[in-house]
Structure 1
Amino acid sequence: MSTFVSDEPDLDVCAEEYMRARAAAGPSEVERLREDFVRAAMPLAGRLASRYCGRGEPAEDLEQVARIGLVKTVDRYDADRGSFTAFAVVTIRGELRRHFRDHTWSVHVPRRLQDLGLEVKRAADTLTTRFARPPTQAEIADYLDVDEADVLAARTSMAGYSSESLNRRISDADDTEVGDLLGALDPEMAAVEDRTTLENLLLRLPRRDRRMLALRFWGNLSQAEIAEQFGISQMQVSRLLSRALTWLRTAMLSDTVPPWPGEADDPGVRVLVTAAPGRVRTARVYGEVDRDNAGELRTRLLSALCAGRPSRLEVDLGGVPLLDAAGLRVLMAVRETATARGVPLRFTGVSPHLTRLIRATGLGALLG
């Protein structure tokens, strides 16, 4: 097979001679014939590998991949399939492209997007020549008959082909690395500890105060709007918000958490009942009434109403600076029970603000 040793052999002719010689050779001779044939076709592998140089991969690696493809071609070649050269070109190119797809991408990108990325690049070059301007994403999608979202995904994936080391120096004369130029101080990092402390302090506040703060600073409600929701005056809301904010500010700046001022100033609702059996009974109420302690007020007033059947029950609300919707429901329940038992009922000492609320609930006739 002298054809094998020529500088530029006709590989199709070499393939025919190789297949004839292989059919008549013994096992040991077949291996020698195969090596001679592969050696004769090596220049083809080198030429194909050279076409992929300059794409970030060493030339030696590309030539090694191309030679592997050549060996696969020789082992898989069947004379009935046609030209050996054509079969070798397709196989070797496939090996080279697979190498780039599997080993040269900085991040893993699905093969579909890799292939589409190449089509998008070719389409962009073609349309740029046709329109004398860069094509839009919609024009590329229409040209390739794909969705715009696929074009965007392919273009984005192409950015993952190669990456740059963060440890690369920006110049030979400067030791500064690329990573030193990226990022900046995050001003929010300094607030992380303060946010955590504030969250823990908020959990120590009574539920009503927490809700007021949430409505004011997260719900962006005015003090008047908050007052309407709680059924209290705007001045009361201002006082409660100021108390909560002052305590939070003090607690944030202290090493130990100070006591909540409400524990001393507002020990809860208190009801002082005075009267002899069978006479006018007075129930003096002290403290702010909300849904947290409305149940306690209900129990105390109903007890004063039902014990010993008084001639009249007077509920003195002069010591109540705040009465929310839950407290109003308590007064309505006391009115219903008093009516059922035939005991006259009066609300006395009521502030002008509470007077408006009580009248709004239909209890105005009981004000005295």
Structure 2
Amino acid sequence: MSAEQGSSKVLIKAVPAVLDHVAKPAIVSTPEVIDTRTLSRSLFLRLAALDKDSPEHTYVRDTLIELNLPLVRYASARFRSRNEPMEDIVQVGTIGLIKAIDRFDCERGVEFPTFAMPTVVGEIKRFFRDTSWSVRVPRRLQELRLALTRASDELAQKLDRSPTVPELAVVLGVSEEDVVDGLAVGNAYTASSLDTPSIEEDGGEGSLADRLGYEDRALEGVEYRESLKPLLAKLQPRERQIIMLRFFANMTQSQIGEEVGISQMHVSRLLTRTLAQLREGLIAD
């Protein structure tokens, strides 16, 4: 006898007492001749006839959950290779089982295990999707990324090339901005450690943290430039023009003399005097 059959036998012996408390069904005769599916069908018929707020409804519903737990364990076994503890996977699958029980309609002629298995497996898969992302991503974007992956594969086969963003947007019925967001979400699925070794351009090895920042040698000049602005504003217009032509236009003293209309020697004397004045202003500040 399998573990599932043994568990069902134990549960079946307790079920008649539950049903007696609600209403004695004609289908129950001896516990030994009733299998799990037949008993579940009987319990679902009882459940549909009860008020949802009644203690009897809760009792029968809990019995259905316990009776069908082997289905959850069977579905959870498919994910045994994952790093999550099996107890956590079973708990998540049980949530899917409860959702399936609450939505199941025994009048549709579908066996409950057939109806419940996709819900249980889907709940477990959503659990792994939520816990496997390195960065917390909203469920809507996670599901959009999965839809984009499927649509991209299908379009690539039809078009014999990679689909464009507008083509994906048309197929999925979303905006192009949503497609771009869904594609970018893939970057949040995995993350690299800052200590991960990498090959540097010069052939040496270093970590990712070594490449995240660098020393900006121009940063030191920012303070000097900000301090010079009010000093330059105080200069005479011709002196300020000479400074601008020399250090911003990279003109020689002779070229500056021709531009301003003075001799190269006069430009040299003005530059020397102006630079000394600016230097004194910086030191004073």
State the TM-score, normalizing by the size of structure 2. 0.59
Structure 1 CA distance, aligned partners of 2:107 and 2:258? 92
Q: Which amino acid aligns with 2:212?
A: G
Question: In the alignment, which residue of structure 2 is the partner of 1:185?
Answer: 214
TM-superposition CA deviations, 1:273-325 (whole Å, max 9, x none): xxxxxxxxxxxxxxxxxxxxxxxxxxxxxxxxxxxxxxxxxxxxxxxxxxxxx
With over 3 angstroms needed to count, the CA separation of the structure-2 counterparts of 1:14 and 1:161, relative to structure 1, is farther
Structure 2 CA distance, aligned partners of 1:257 and 1:249? 9
Q: Which amino acid aligns with 1:19?
A: F
- Cα distance, 1:38 vs structure 2: 1.5
Q: Which amino acid aligns with 1:16?
A: R
The answer to whether the 8 Å contact 1:117/1:154 transfers is yes
The answer to whether the 8 Å contact 2:231/2:278 transfers is no
Aligned pairs for 1:145-294 within 5 A: 149-166=177-194, 178-186=207-215, 188=216, 190-205=217-232, 206-207=234-235, 208=237, 209-210=239-240, 213-214=243-244, 217-218=247-248, 220=249, 233=262, 235=264, 239-245=269-275, 247-248=277-278, 256-257=283-284
Structure 1 CA distance, aligned partners of 2:86 and 2:130? 17
The answer to whether the 8 Å contact 1:137/1:148 transfers is no
Aligned pairs for 1:80-95 within 5 A: 83=110, 84-85=112-113, 87-95=115-123
Question: In the alignment, which residue of structure 2 is the partner of 1:5?
Answer: 8
- Cα distance, 1:68 vs structure 2: 1.8
Q: Secondary structure at the match of 2:222?
A: helix
After superposing the two structures, state which structure 1 stretch, 50-59 or 63-72, moved more. Answer: 50-59
Q: Indicate which of 115, 134, 137 corresponds to 2:164.
A: 137
Q: Indicate which of 18, 42, 52 corresponds to 2:43.
A: 18
With over 3 angstroms needed to count, the CA separation of the structure-2 counterparts of 1:110 and 1:242, relative to structure 1, is farther
Structure 2 CA distance, aligned partners of 1:166 and 1:183? 9
- Cα distance, 1:239 vs structure 2: 4.7
Question: In the alignment, which residue of structure 1 is the partner of 2:143?
Answer: 115
The answer to whether the 8 Å contact 1:137/1:152 transfers is no
Q: Indicate which of 68, 74, 87 corresponds to 1:41.
A: 68
- Cα distance, 1:17 vs structure 2: 0.9
- Cα distance, 1:156 vs structure 2: 1.3
State the TM-score, normalizing by the size of structure 1. 0.48
- Cα distance, 1:158 vs structure 2: 1.2
Question: In the alignment, which residue of structure 1 is the partner of 2:15?
Answer: none
| Paired-residue identity, % | 32
Question: In the alignment, which residue of structure 1 is the partner of 2:28?
Answer: none
Q: Which has the higher helix share?
A: 2
- Cα distance, 1:135 vs structure 2: 1.7
Give aligned pairs, total.
241
RMSD between superposed Cα atoms in Å? 4.7
Question: In the alignment, which residue of structure 2 is the partner of 1:105?
Answer: 133
Q: Compare CA radii of gyration and give the structure with the larger one.
A: 1
After superposing the two structures, state which structure 1 stretch, 33-42 or 204-213, moved more. Answer: 204-213
Structure 1 CA distance, aligned partners of 2:146 and 2:184? 12
